[in-house]
Amino acid sequence: MPFDPVKAARRLTALELSSEKLPKHIAIIMDGNGRWAKSRGFPRIEGHRRGVRSVRDTIEECAELGIDQLTLYCLSSENWKRPPRELDMLMRLLEQYLVEERSEILRQDLRFAMIGRREGLSDGILREVAKTVELSRNNKGTRLCLAVNYGGRQELVDAFRRMAVRLSNGSLEVESVTEATIADHLDTAGMPDPDLVIRTAGEMRMSNYLLWQASYAEFWVTSKCWPEFRPADLHEALRDYSARERRFGGLSR
């Protein structure tokens, strides 16, 4: 259903949050699926399956609260080093998610997007991604962006290659290159930079995620693994974010 500002205002009041202090863009590093499964005697892929529930709950909560964009780190460019069987299961799980959750994406009026290199992804995944992007193109709600086969450094390399082509053919002048020029050549062109980066499983690193875009993002970490992450944890992160003063290199007011 479309975003309901009245309902959102009531929810925010109940959660002791203010719409003015909410992040416009939340990026999440969904870590700890395998560790969660291993600690319970399950195969690693079961952790990824259970993590889908956290994905679903988090997306719905962000949509209801009026968060402009949610970006989820689904598969990094480094994850190809994992065992082939696990990668195969991850690809199947991703394609299954794209098919099964499409109706929910449309019901919640979400705008769907994906960043990352397409190489290595199956034709089935690319077909389902393209279909969901097209069907949700005119939606007005939260933008749901999946980072798949994504790495911040490789994104910068790709951006610089695109800029180099334009420099060589004369459609871009060296003197005109600014930070905005680089941003316009990234996978995230047209998207706002993340205000808040959430990481689960207690790890304290960026893991090659949105390196350019998150330069001034606030960082929030929970020791809970991703399959344990619930809306209450998201609310805790939002309260913590709302209490921070973002100075962007300047002085306190």
pLDDT tens column, 203-248: 999 999 999 999 999 999 999 999 999 999 999 999 999 999 887 7
The string of pLDDT tens digits covering residues 49-77 is 999 999 999 999 999 999 999 999 999 99
Binned at pLDDT 50, 70 and 90, residue 167 comes out as very high
Tokens describing residue 217:
């993002």
Residue listed under structure tokens 């082939």? 84
pLDDT of residue 2: 80
Catalytic position from the list 4, 33, 57, 79: 79
Identify the CA nearest to 181 among candidates 168, 191, 172.
172
pLDDT of residue 134: 98
CATH architecture of 20-150: 3-Layer(aba) Sandwich (3.40)
CA distance 68 to 56: 16
CA distance 70 to 145: 6
pLDDT of residue 246: 80
What integer is the mean pLDDT of 182-198?
Answer: 98
The string of pLDDT tens digits covering residues 72-122 is 999 999 888 888 888 999 999 999 999 999 999 999 999 999 999 999 999
pLDDT of residue 252: 63
pLDDT of residue 1: 74
Residue 34 pLDDT greater than 70, yes or no: yes
CA distance 28 to 24: 13
* Predicted structure pTM score: 0.95
What integer is the mean pLDDT of 186-215?
Answer: 97
Residue ranges per structural domain of the chain: 20-150, 154-193
User: Phi and psi for 142 in degrees, rounded to 5?
Assistant: -55, 140
pLDDT of residue 76: 94
Those residues with Cβ within 8 angstroms of residue 173's Cβ, 6 or more apart along the chain or in another chain: 167
pLDDT of residue 253: 59
Those residues with Cβ within 8 angstroms of residue 189's Cβ, 6 or more apart along the chain or in another chain: 183
Whole-angstrom CA distances from 146 to 55, 75, 215 are: 11, 9, 20
What integer is the mean pLDDT of 33-51?
Answer: 95
Catalytic position from the list 31, 187, 195, 233: 31
What integer is the mean pLDDT of 166-185?
Answer: 97
Residue 250 pLDDT greater than 70, yes or no: no
Does residue 31 have an active-site annotation? yes
What integer is the mean pLDDT of 127-136?
Answer: 97
Mean pLDDT across the chain: 95
